[in-house]
Every structure is written in C-alpha cells, then in structure tokens.
Amino acid sequence: MTARIDHDALFIDGGWTPPRTDGRTSVVSPLTEQEIGSFPTSTDADVDAAVSSARAALRRDDWAGLTPETRARLVRRFADELEKRAEERATTVTRQNGMPVELARFAEGAAPVQLLRYYADLAESTPLEERRASQPMPGTTIVRREPVGVVAAIAPWNFPAVLSMFKIAPALAAGCTVVLKPSPETTLDSYVLAEAAIAAELPAGVINIVTGGPDVGQYLVAHPGVDKVAFTGSTAAGRHIGRVCGELLRPATLELGGKSAALVLDDADVERTVTGLSTASLLNSGQTCYMSTRILVPRSQSRAYVDAITAMASSLPVGDPMDPATFIGPMVSAAQRDRVLSLIDQGRAEGGTITTGGGRVNGVGYFVQPTVFADVDNASTIARQEVFGPVLSVIAYDDVDDAVALANDSEYGLGGTVWTSDEERGIGVARRVETGSFGVNTFNLDWGSPFGGVKASGLGRELGPEGLAAYQQLKSIFLAS
C-alpha cells in the first residue's frame, strides 16, 4: 500500500501559503479507482496573490534584472534540485494518470531537468542586444530582447511535468515569472516542483502554483496582471483562451489536439514499421497529442498491414503502470475511459470493422483494450475526432498523392510520420504534409527544434530557440549615430 499524498497549502510567493478556502480537490488512482490524495482548490483570491507575487518578482531586480549568466546559474540549481526528486515526480505522475512508469521516468522525471539545463545554456549564449545599421536614414538601431512579463502556464494531465516545463524553462531563462496551473487530475506532482524551487532558493514569486479546474484557469487567463498565456490542452479550451486573449491583445501560445497520420509507403518493411508504430501511435496508452493514429497503408498491402497491426496491438502488455513491463496503462479517469469507449461505439455504429479490442478490460481500473479499426473511411467519426486512447484506424490509399491528400484531410495538423526504406522519399512526403512536426521512420521530439501545430492544433511554437523567443519581446532603440 503506497502512502496517500495530501497537501494543505499552496505554493505562492516562494513558500507554503494557507489557502483562502476550505475547498479541496481529491485525486483518484486510475488503477485502483481509490482516492490517493488531495490538495486545496485555489480561489480567485489565491490567484490574485499568485499573480501579484509574480508581478512583484518581475519588478524587483533579483530576477528579470539579473544578467542571463546569473539567472542561468539559478536555473541550473533548480534543475539539480529537481533531478534529486526525479523518481518521486515520475512515480507521482504514474500514480495520478496511469502513465507507464518507464515512460514517466524519462518524460516526467528526466526530461524537465534536461529542459531547464537546455534553456539555461541557450539564454546564456543568446545575446540580448544586437546593433544594426539603420536604413534609409544613417544611424544605428539597438534591437533588444526583454522578458515578456508574467506568464500564465496552463498544463494538461497527460504529460503534466514535461509540458509544464516546455513553458517554465524558457520563461524563467528569459527573465519572466510564472503562475502555473496544473490539471486537477495531476496536481500532486507539482508540489515536488515547488519543493525543488524552495530548495534551489529561487527568488520569491518567480514560480507560483495555483490549483483547480477550468474556472481557475479562466480567471488566470483573463487576469489583468498576466502578460502572456502558454496553454497546452484541448482544442475546445484553446479556442476559448484564444478568444479571451484576442480581446485583451495578450500573446498566447496554444498547443492543442491532433489526429495525425502515419503514411506507410509501399517500400516500407512491414515488421519494422509496425514495431515503430507501437510507440508512434500508442505512447502513453494513446494519451499523447501527436500520435499517428490514422495509419495510411497501400491498398495492395492493406490485408498484411491490418494483420500485423492487429497482432502488435493485441500483444501489448496491459496492466499496472508501476510494472516496468506495462505498455498500456489505464485511462486517466472514468470520464476519459467512457469518452474513448463512446467513440469506439460510434465507430462500430458507423459500420467500422474492429479486428482487436473494442471494449473495456474487466475488473478494477479505467482500462480500455488496445483497439484496431480496419478499412476505415477517412470521413468517419473515428478518423476525424481525436480519441486520446489506444485506438488505431487503418485507412487504405491508392498512391502517394492520395495518401498525402488523406493525411491533409483533417481539421488538425500537429504530428505525423512516414515509414519507408528510402529516407529521401520520406523527406519528400514530409514536405507535403500540413503539420507542425513530422517524423521519418520515427517520431522523437527534439529540445532544440520547434514543436507546435497548424490548423486546429494550435498557434505558436514551444522548444528550441523559437521557444525562448516566445518569452521575449523586442524593443528597437534608434540612435542618431
């Protein structure tokens, strides 16, 4: 029996602050369906306190006013403290959202530390001022990068630690201060982040954490003390936040949903492709935004691929996410499981053929069987809506032009992959797909390169130097000489 995790305070202004309410939120294990912990739910007054602490920290000269080198040193100290707690953070995430623990050890334990170090190095090596010869009048212009200000960072439950850090690391490195709002399903691990910030002696107010659901998020997004919003989550919430930020003329980065395609070319090796697809299409039990869940296969090889994908999906170990052998854990919540099952039912009702899975796993835990739909029509609901579970659709195509057209026939444009024995041919296909990121025989995010979506998958980019620039605003200073 693992101990419960209960917190009584909020991390605001550099320390533990009593909440201004008795309201609490419980966290339920997706494996046991039992409560595993709880935390106070922030009120508007708590959000006000967090934002005003972040604003005050921005005005003092112990953060935004530091040299990039000094700030980088503090960010590295924060990384060191987080690294000491990486295992605790990773397992706390697994207990909350059911992420297979080996994945959590990398994505939720190690990766946030790597991101802090990456952005500390990058901020140190990126000049804050550049001089340009003016035109058409003679003179010089200093182009200066300044921190954008107080950042509202809102994270989803699927990769809570690393997706928060996509925002926190570049924001801190740029000299911004942050108010983080994690998802209510995955707030407990953010207390580990707070403990690392305290141990690293980050100045008060540089990071604050408010807790709660969409109401708290909405109040934070529209808060007059916020200068920028960085959001990862559903397209529906992203549209709402985009509308609010548009009215306020407040910059926003929106990382939203996806329905990406895997284009399997006729020269691909079946076995290697299907092995690659297990992670490119089903990572984190399918609860990953950039999954290639529409698998486009040559019509002449359709039967062979349906058989191989069915065999792969039905052989994936489903079970306790704390077991390192598990590949498919439970869905994060009963609501998410029911959403996935209802989309499967809709696929069935529209005449879809299920070759494996298609239901829940009997017993305790919010499990859904890995499910494959064969001979799917790209116009059907199962091919158009983001499922966010272990559900794949195999769609046959006639030639490469047809495959590219099918890939692009989607509301979304976040990820995608091509599988081929000819890398150059794969790169040619990659250039034609309407998406923010794409993999040739793989899909691996790169801390040094931008990530984000086109169409309904979002606005703006995170990661890479572009991700740092998103937390800087430009000022031009014109000189007569």
Q: Among 22-30, 202-210, 211-219, 308-316, which window interacts with ligand NAD (CB under 6 A)?
A: 211-219
Q: Applying CB under 6 A, does 237 fall inside the site for ligand NAD?
A: yes
- CA-CA-CA-CA torsion sign (159, 165, 168, 170): negative
Which one among 37, 149, 156, 225 touches ligand NAD, defined by CB under 6 A? 156
- What is 130-175 written as a DSSP string? EEEE-SSSSSEEEEEEEE--EEEEE--SSSHHHHHHHHHHHHHHHT
Judged by CB under 6 A, does residue 98 bind ligand NAD? Answer: no
* Sign for the pseudo-dihedral over CA of 99, 309, 396, 402: positive
Which amino acid type is present at position 169?
A: A
d(CA 96, CA 185): 7
Report if residue 358 touches ligand NAD, rule: CB under 6 A.
no
360 near ligand NAD, rule: CB under 6 A: no
Nearer to ligand NAD (CB atom), residue 68 or residue 233: 233
Longest pairwise C-alpha distance within the chain: 77
Q: How far is the CB of 398 from ligand NAD (least distance, A)?
A: 30
CB atoms within 10 A of CB 243: 10
Q: Is there binding between residue 103 and ligand NAD (CB under 6 A)?
A: no
Rule CB under 6 A: say whether 217 interacts with ligand NAD: yes
Using the rule CB under 6 A, is 189 a contact of ligand NAD? no
Residues 6 or more apart whose CB falls under 8 angstroms from that of 243 comprise: none
Is 289 assigned a catalytic role? yes
Tell me: does residue 234 bind ligand NAD (CB under 6 A).
yes
Using CB under 6 A, count the residues that bind ligand NAD.
Answer: 30
CB of 273 within 8 A of CB of 296?
no
Nearest CA among 391, 312, 412, 303 for reference residue 346: 391
Q: Which of 83, 195, 289, 462 is catalytic?
A: 289
Binning the chain into helix, strand and coil, the percentages to the nearest 5 are: 40, 20, 35
Select the residue interacting with ligand NAD from 158, 293, 356, 437 (CB under 6 A): 158
The span from the first CA to the last CA of the chain, in angstroms, equals: 72
| 81 near ligand NAD (CB under 6 A) | no
Task: Candidates 37-45, 212-220, 260-268, 314-322: pick the segment binding ligand NAD (CB under 6 A).
Answer: 212-220
* Options 123, 289, 297, 400; binder of ligand NAD; rule CB under 6 A: 289
User: Which amino acid type is present at position 180?
Assistant: L
List of residues contacting ligand NAD (CB under 6 A): 154-158, 163, 181, 183, 213-214, 217-218, 221, 232-234, 237, 240-241, 255-258, 289, 386, 388, 414, 453, 457-458
Catalytic center residues: 255, 289
